[in-house]
Amino acid sequence: MATIKKIDPQITNLKSDENLLKYFTSDFRKGYIEVTNKKFVLPQYYLEFMDKIENFEVYDTDVFVVSHPKTGTTWTQEMVWCIGNNLKFTNVEIYKRFPFLEVTPLFDFRECPELFGELSDHLLDSLEYVRKLPHPRYIKTHLPWDLLPKQIRTGERNPKIIYVYRNPKDTSVSYYYHCRAVEGFTGDFNVFMDLFLGGRLTYGPFPAHVLSIFEQKNRENVLIITYEEMKSDLRSVIKNVMNFLSKNYSDEEIEKLEDHLSFESMKNNNSVNYANTGGKNFMRAGIVGSYKNDMTPELINRFDNWIVDKFGKTEIKF
């Protein structure tokens, strides 16, 4: 088992990162910080929750879906939920049954008091909402391994952790449209790509995020899957997750789940597409390689060189 490291207390305010502050600062986000020596970027408000997340009580029966934003998280959540709950297709919104652990630290709604009357419990205090979930709990997080609750990192508790990642070119484009629609990004496409490649977006740097979980890949409670695998051979991924969660279903049941998890079905399913929370264009294209519709050849070449630089000496291939 890999050596356990405590959270590096190194915290730096990103006051000098002009583009991040210029194009992302809003009424609910006043600034950004770098956390740990890997320089993970998070909103400044996260500092008020850092200790609570570090000491969050975890159970062996918990199931976590962990990911960098826009890598197939919601798709994976629905797959994991259905497999873990006897293929129960439900109309209950996914953010209620499979909530986002640290969504509250992402948006400081204290600065927008007019919104408090409209916010649901999972937004007002997501940590408390997750704490009160019935067991087994299903939990989403975008935190890298280094910032997950201490009990997970030390191995004191061994919840199931399913990590999904995606080609960074498709990830960055999907993240761009998401941030334009949901997080108030006002810059242009090229500014966003500069921020992504520079590791100056929330939850970045992307390479450090992905590599943080690969360092733990030999743990029995960690399963790593890819968005591309889900697109090319969803049945095999379903079976892999079934085995990981100690579940067994017939071929006929798996076929029904495949249909339920198809992109069109997911996009038209109001329980997963955040239609009731203002999630405009939350599920946009769902096509592997769609970055080619947005990126110039020069930008693609820049990404390819960046991938070689960041991942070339690793087992991770895109």
Catalytic center residues = 142
Write the CB contacts of 159 (distance below 8 Å, at least 6 apart in sequence).
58, 59, 60, 61, 62, 63, 64, 152, 221
How is residue 239 written in tokens?
A: 């079976």
Q: How far is CA 136 from CA 47, 81, 204, 245, in A?
A: 28, 11, 30, 12
Report yes or no: 14 and 31 within 8 Å, Cβ to Cβ. Answer: yes
CB atoms within 10 A of CB 148: 24
Q: How far apart are CA 301 and CA 103, in angstroms?
A: 34
Sorted by sequence, the CB contacts under 8 Å of residue 261 that are 6+ apart come out as 75, 78, 79, 82, 234, 238
Residue type, 54: E
Task: Give residues with Cβ within 8 angstroms of 89, minimum separation 6.
Answer: 82, 260
**Burial of 275 (C-beta count, 10 Å sphere; 0-12/13-18/19+):** middle
Which amino acid belongs to residue 312? Answer: G
Sign of the CA dihedral with 217 first, then 76, 148, and 36 last: positive
As given in the structure block, the two tokens for residue 212 are: 């943080």
